[in-house]
């Protein structure tokens, strides 16, 4: 046991104090369990001594969810195996440990190469069937492919393609969860459900856990804020998006989909923002100017890059050799929209692209101002362009931190219902103009979910930006939206959760927390600010 828990040595373990939010925490001890048995032992010791536990995956989160607030860090990076495969009702379900990275899952599926040494015969048989069935994929696609599956489950991660395929939640068939009292729950979709909020489930050891989940109204948009609560729901959904506050996911089954034969992407440049927003609405099938395009294929992803983001890239492309291979962003390109199609063959994709051209023209654009990718190599170029924007933002902020070390970017993550898309943009533009703050806007516009990245030049800017962010959060909520659509609440956005659900809602979340983690040991500071939790 002594060997499993190590004293936290800042000199050696410093990286485990931080995540991609760039905030830094503190811890007294750390462990790297390799198996469920080791994990159970560690949790038992910690729970007995009432030591707070922060669970970590790959630390790619943007809200500080994996940053420890004292106590112990359980880092799951060594529980990273693919443990089996199942074929059920026409679907393949891949069983993985939480520490495995998305990129590793993708690679294994692409190459159909799995270490089956410890697999059951059923899994080996299913693998044979998989090989005969042709390529399959796991659809969630957060920008950071080095995210861990456990992390993705815990913040219900999504990405560009979630517009069509939905977030991580939709692709998790079962989870195994370890609670701080030492019990382990295996929860399967469709099998373990709540009825009027009530649930009753037996742990692996045979103990019964029962209770009543409270209820509140969740926004009807893409959402990663607070616990998932519905009157009749699958019990595993309470753990998906729970940010490590209820239990530790020790295993999960990923539901796979047949991989599309043709993946085509198009970046479309429009002459102004208005035209771009009209194009977005038209391409997702809305009526624009009284006309609905009926022959348009729905894309699997719709992404947006505003004029300020393109200008930032133009500058980076000139000065930074790393961006030298970016396509030329011509001076008349004002606003960009990326759409992606998944089809059965290239011929079908070509037809879709050509009718997309007509749609561009009808929205005031020119089909010459497009970049089309028809193969994986060219798709990489379009992805490079998409990823270059957040990267440029980070580089710019790093530069400014040289003179003002406390500056960080302020990245919003709000989503609103379809009918509020245009008004939300008007609000962003108006308030940015009024305050004179520098910002770039990009992201998942298909779900009315763009990230406004405020780029403060000074601490005054930073303070003003924070106020602006809170204003926008309130506006998004009153429009029926969410304060966080994909990054989660973590430790950085707890104030926004209160805006969204009010004190009553937070109280209900605390009830949920008490049901599964009565001593409040798990992931202190996530979702609830520590003060609120003590109350």
Partner 1 sequence: MSTLQIIACVKQVPASTEVKLNKETNTLIREGVEAIINPFDTYAIEEAVRLKQQHGGKVTALSMGIPSVAELLKQTVALGVDEAVLLSDRRFAGADSLATAWALAGGVRQTGAFDLVICGKQATDGDTAQVGPSLAEKLGIPHTTYVRSIEHVDEKLIRCIRLTDDGQETIEMTLPALITVVKDINVPRLPSIRGIRQAQSAPVKLLTADDVNADEKRIGLKGSPTQVVKTFIPAQTTESELFTGTPTEQAKQLVAKLVARRLVQEGEADGRD
- The minimum distance between CB 40 and partner 1, in angstroms, equals 24
Show Cβ contacts of residue 448 under 8 Å, excluding neighbours closer than 6 positions: 221, 415, 416, 417, 418, 420, 421, 424, 481
3-class secondary structure, 40: helix
Q: Among 36, 40, 274, 367, which residue interacts with partner 1 (rule: CB under 8 A)?
A: 367
Cα–Cα distance measured from residue 102 to residue 360, given in angstroms and rounded to the nearest whole number: 34
Among 353, 416, 421, 512, interactor with partner 1 by CB under 8 A: 353
Of 350 and 422, nearer to partner 1 (C-beta) is 350
Closer residue to partner 1 (CB): 367 or 511: 367
CA 27, 30, 35, 41 torsion: positive or negative?
A: negative
Structure tokens at 408: 């960080």
**CB of residue 71 vs partner 1: minimum separation in angstroms?**
20
In the bound state with partner 1, the residue whose beta carbon lies nearer, of 218 and 261, is 261
Q: Which of residues 274-333 bind partner 1 (CB under 8 A)?
A: 324-328
Measured CA to CA, the distance from residue 152 to residue 140 in angstroms comes to 9
CB of 332 to partner 1, least distance (A): 14
How large is the angle between the packed helices 421-435 and 459-478, nearest 10 degrees?
160
83: which 2 tokens? 């443990």
Q: How far is CA 174 from the centre of its chain?
A: 19
Closest CA to 444 of 421, 465, 478: 421
Query: Binding to partner 1 by residue 216, rule CB under 8 A?
Result: no
Residues from 158 through 197 that contact partner 1 (CB under 8 A): none
**Among positions 193, 371, 429, 435, the unique one binding partner 1 when judged by CB under 8 A:** 371
Taking the complex as a whole, how short is the minimal distance between the CB of residue 407 and partner 1, in angstroms?
28
**Binding-residue total with partner 1 (CB under 8 A):** 31
Q: Considering only residues 57, 244, 343, 357, which one is a binding residue for partner 1 as defined by CB under 8 A? A: 357
Is 377 a binding residue for partner 1 by CB under 8 A? The answer is yes
Q: Which is nearer to partner 1, 9 or 124 (CB)?
A: 9
Per-residue binding string, partner 1, 13-32, x by CB under 8 A, is: x-------------------
HSE of 121 in the Cβ direction (CA atoms, 13 Å)?
0
Q: Can you tell me which of 73, 266, 407, 492 binds partner 1, judged by CB under 8 A? A: 266
Which residue in 185, 360, 454, 497 binds partner 1 (CB under 8 A)? 360
In DSSP notation, 362-384 reads: HTT--TTSEEEE-SHHHHHHHHH
Q: What's the closest the beta carbon of residue 249 comes to partner 1, in angstroms?
A: 25
Determine if 381 is a binding residue for partner 1 (CB under 8 A): yes
Identify which of residues 111 and 402 has a Cβ nearer to partner 1 in the complex: 111
Strand positions, DSSP E, 245-345: 248-255, 257-258, 262-270, 301-305, 335-343
- Specify the residue, 246 or 382, whose C-beta has the smaller distance to partner 1: 382
Which positions ≥6 away from 165 have C-beta within 8 Å?
139, 140, 171, 257, 300
Q: What's the min distance (Å) between Cβ of 370 and partner 1?
A: 5
The least CB distance from residue 9 to partner 1, in Å, is 8
CB-nearer residue toward partner 1: 12 or 220: 12
Residues 293 and 280: their CA atoms lie apart, in Å, by 12
E strand map for 306-438 = 335-343, 370-373, 410-411
Q: How many CB atoms lie within 10 A of CB 14?
A: 11
CB closer to partner 1, 188 vs 326: 326
Pick 69 or 371: Cβ nearer partner 1: 371
The whole-angstrom distance between residue 41's C-alpha and the CA centroid of its chain comes to 30
* Nearest residue (CB) to partner 1, 272 versus 355: 355
Scan for tokens 């362009």, then name that residue.
385
Which residues bind to partner 1, rule: CB under 8 A? 9, 11-13, 266, 324-328, 350, 353-354, 356-357, 360, 366-378, 381-382
């Amino acid at each position: 046991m002594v060997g499993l828990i190590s004293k936290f040595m800042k000199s050696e373990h410093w990286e485990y104090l931080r995540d991609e939010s760039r905030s830094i925490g503190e811890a007294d001890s750390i462990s790297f369990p390799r198996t469920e048995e080791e994990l159970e032992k560690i949790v038992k010791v910690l729970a007995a001594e009432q030591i707070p536990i922060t669970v970590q995956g790959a630390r790619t989160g943007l809200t500080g969810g994996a940053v420890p607030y004292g106590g112990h860090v359980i880092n799951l990076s060594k529980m990273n195996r693919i443990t089996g495969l199942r074929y059920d009702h026409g679907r393949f379900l891949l069983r993985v440990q939480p520490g495995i990275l998305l990129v590793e899952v993708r690679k294994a599926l692409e190459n159909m190469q799995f270490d089956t040494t410890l697999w059951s015969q059923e899994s080996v048989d299913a693998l044979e069937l998989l090989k005969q069935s042709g390529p399959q994929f796991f659809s969630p696609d957060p920008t950071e492919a080095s995210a861990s599956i456990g992390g993705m489950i815990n913040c219900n991660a999504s990405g560009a393609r979630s517009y069509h395929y939905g977030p991580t939640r939709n692709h998790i068939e079962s989870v195994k969860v370890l609670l701080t009292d030492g019990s382990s729950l295996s929860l399967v979709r469709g099998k373990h459900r709540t009825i009027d909020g009530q649930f009753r489930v037996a742990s692996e050891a045979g103990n019964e856990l029962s209770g009543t989940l409270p209820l509140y109204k969740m926004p009807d948009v893409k959402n990663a804020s607070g616990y998932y609560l519905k009157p009749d729901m699958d019990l595993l959904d309470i753990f998906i998006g729970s940010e490590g506050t209820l239990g530790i996911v020790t295993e999960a089954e990923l539901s796979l989909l047949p991989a599309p034969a043709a993946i085509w992407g198009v970046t479309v440049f429009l002459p102004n923002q208005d035209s771009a927003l009209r194009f977005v609405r038209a391409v997702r099938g809305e009526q624009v100017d009284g006309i609905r395009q009926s022959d348009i294929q729905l894309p699997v992803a719709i992404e947006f890059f505003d004029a300020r983001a393109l200008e930032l890239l133009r500058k980076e492309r000139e000065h930074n050799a790393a961006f030298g291979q970016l396509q030329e962003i011509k001076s008349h390109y004002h606003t960009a929209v990326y759409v992606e199609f998944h089809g059965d063959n290239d011929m079908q994709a070509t037809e879709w692209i050509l009718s997309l051209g007509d749609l561009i023209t009808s929205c005031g654009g020119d089909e010459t101002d497009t970049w089309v990718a028809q193969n994986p190599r060219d798709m990489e170029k379009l992805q490079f362009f998409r990823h270059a924007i957040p990267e440029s933002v980070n580089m710019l902020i790093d530069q400014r931190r040289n003179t003002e070390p406390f500056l960080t970017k302020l990245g919003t993550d709000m989503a609103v219902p379809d009918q509020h898309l245009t008004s939300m943009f008007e609000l962003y533009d108006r308030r940015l103009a009024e305050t004179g703050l520098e910002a770039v806007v990009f992201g998942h516009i298909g779900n009315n979910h763009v990230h406004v990245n405020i780029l403060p030049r000074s601490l005054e800017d930073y303070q003003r930006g924070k106020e602006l962010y809170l204003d926008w959060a309130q506006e998004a909520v009153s429009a029926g939206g969410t304060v966080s659509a994909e990054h989660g609440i973590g430790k950085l956005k707890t104030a926004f959760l209160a805006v969204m659900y009010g004190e009553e809602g937070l109280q209900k979340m605390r009830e949920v927390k008490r049901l599964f983690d009565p001593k409040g040991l798990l992931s202190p500071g996530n979702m609830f600010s520590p003060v609120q939790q003590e109350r």
